[in-house]
Amino acid sequence: MNNISKPRFLSAVSLIILITALVSLNSSVSEGFFINLQSFLSKYLGWMIILLANGFLIFSISLIFTKYKDTRLGGHNAKPSYSYTNWIAMLFSAGLGIGLLFYGVAEPIMHLNSYPGMIEGNISYNAGKAIGLANLHWGLHGWAIYSSLGLCFAYASYNKNLPFRVSSLLGSKVSSNKNLAITIDVIAILTTVFGVTTSLGLGTVQISAGLSHVFDISESFFNQILIITFITLIGLISVSLGLDSGIKRLSQLNMILAIGLLLFIFILGPTIFIINALIQNFGAYVNTLIQSATWTEVYDETSWQNGWTLFYYAWWFAWAPFVSLFIARISYGRTIKEFIIGVLFVPSLIVFIWMGVFGNAAIYQVINETSQISEVVNNNMPVALFTLFNVYPLAQLLSVLSLILIVTFFVTSSDSGALVASMLSSKKQTDINDDSPILSRITWAILLGILAAVLLYAGGLTALQTSVVITGVPFALIVVLACREFYLSLDQEI
């Protein structure tokens, strides 16, 4: 307990309890507030969100070609703490996890059904556009945000011997101002908590839908509470074990299950169709990347982008302190070039393959009318993944395997988020193996579960998604300042 920063810890916990109480006691008012605030931010700051997302991508890629690319995180003699396999597994589990399972089938079909730019009767264009939008939302731009802030965390902590805190990234003028530093760190903690809570809520909804689909268990709010309670208890065990014994082992299990599921769909599904689609999707994605990444919907009388592209970028911003700090924590000994390739390009490639296999397998069913997946996605999106399996052999086994994978991703997100929130609210990390106090980690794990339940009660997925926008957008500006300070300090290494 001596290593807990009481002002940060108590302020953040008090604010979360206050927000939780206000939302739970005024659920209908809260839902309206969330929706109105999201609309306001999207309408007036959408242009800024798009510019920031593209700016982080340019910043990350440009670092590979600078004289700083061989700078090693931790100094010239630092050796990586984890093998490439374990490193990538933990990156994948922390940065994608539940979200990719939730949206891997549903999102391409949703775009196919509702994107305002689709051309009626042109399935080739429409399908390619649907997969391209999914890749835009889950690929390079999101991981560029993680790699940018992750480098800031890693360099400040391993090369400048500063605590794993956001205030440490903004220069001595900020870190020396105690009240300002505490305020910034509390904002980062709140952003982390709401970002992780969104994924926990998505996981809960999908597990509930899966249990209903496979075992005919009702999708009641009470059952969702039981799911959150069960996962939180498992997460408490994992987070108490620490990074190497808990999160690393779960991440390895996640990758094994995910690869197995992917190969099953690829081999027993429309294999040749998927291969051809992957090649065509890659060309379309590269060809239209700049246009898609800078589209602001200015000439269209629609609000499609508010609920998709802008929401995703804000979600990545909200997840930035959590995932970026976690990535920094496991990236000791990597060079800047190695870090960017591993954090930006490798996960983006995994996303491209995942969306290409699952998304195109679903689109194949739509084209050939072998299932009702299009209607299912429109009416009950959380059950989309399980509907995909209905035309496959061993559909029941696939659904059970997916439920297990969702649970393990759920636990990984919960204990990773608790670990990061605990690190952000600690006084300092004395060495690379210091994972902050166990009591603090347990407290955060419990709070994450409670907040996920309250937000689900307050407005379901709408409340979860809008809470991300509210916290993510302001934090993006802090990331800009952190990147500036990081780049200016790199000259000290040369």
Cα distance between residue 392 and residue 387, in whole Å:
10
Least confident of 23-37, 373-387, 404-418, 434-448: 23-37
Residue 335: beta bridge partners? 72
- Binned at pLDDT 50, 70 and 90, residue 244 comes out as low
Cβ pair 307, 79 in contact under 8 A: no
87 in a domain, yes or no?
A: yes
Cα distance between residue 155 and residue 152, in whole Å:
5
Give me the pLDDT at residue 463, please: 58
Mean pLDDT of the chain: 85
Q: What is the pLDDT of residues 424-438, one digit of tens each?
A: 888 765 444 555 667
Name the range with the highest mean pLDDT among 330-339, 447-456, 484-493. Answer: 330-339
383 in a domain, yes or no?
A: yes
Structure tokens at 450: 């409670």
Which residue in 340, 278, 292, 291 sits closest to 136, CA to CA? 292
SS3 label, residue 373: helix
Q: What is the pLDDT of residues 64-90, one digit of tens each?
A: 999 999 999 998 889 998 888 888 887
Give the count of beta carbons closer than 10 Å to the beta carbon of residue 281: 24
Query: How much is the average pLDDT of 260-272?
Result: 94
164 in a domain, yes or no?
A: yes
Give me the pLDDT at residue 60, please: 96
Q: What is the pLDDT of residues 195-210, one digit of tens each?
A: 778 777 777 888 888 8
Cα distance between residue 415 and residue 234, in whole Å:
9
Give me the pLDDT at residue 389, please: 93
Query: How much is the average pLDDT of 304-333?
Result: 86
Give me the pLDDT at residue 353, please: 94
Give me the pLDDT at residue 64, please: 95
Give me the pLDDT at residue 430, please: 42
Segment (H or E) for 208: helix 178-215
% the chain with pLDDT above 70: 90
Cβ contacts of 222 within 8 Å, gap of 6 or more: none
Q: What is the pLDDT of residues 458-467, one digit of tens each?
A: 665 565 566 6
Q: At what angle do helices 98-114 and 346-354 cross, to 10 degrees?
A: 50
- Full domain range(s) for residue 377: 6-20+28-297+306-493
Q: What is the pLDDT of residues 326-344, one digit of tens each?
A: 899 889 999 999 999 999 9
Which residue in 10, 451, 445, 6 sits closest to 241, CA to CA? 445
The residue ranking higher by pLDDT, 26 or 139, is: 139
Residue 32 pLDDT > 90, yes or no? no
CA 146 to mean position of chain CA atoms:
9
The residue ranking higher by pLDDT, 24 or 89, is: 89
Q: What is the pLDDT of residues 392-403, one digit of tens each?
A: 988 889 999 888
Q: At what angle do helices 178-215 and 309-329 cross, to 10 degrees?
A: 110
Give me the pLDDT at residue 242, please: 61
- Total count of domains within the chain: 1
Cβ pair 34, 194 in contact under 8 A: no
- Binned at pLDDT 50, 70 and 90, residue 494 comes out as low
DSSP string over 384-427: HHHHHGGGSTTHHHHHHHHHHHHHHHHHHHHHHHHHHHHHHTBS
Cα distance between residue 37 and residue 29, in whole Å:
12
435 in a domain, yes or no?
A: yes
178 in a domain, yes or no?
A: yes
1 in a domain, yes or no?
A: no
Residue 48 pLDDT > 60, yes or no? yes
Give me the pLDDT at residue 113, please: 86
Cα distance between residue 229 and residue 314, in whole Å:
27
377 in a domain, yes or no?
A: yes
The residue ranking higher by pLDDT, 23 or 14, is: 14
CATH number at residue 318: 1.20.1740
The residue ranking higher by pLDDT, 58 or 6, is: 58
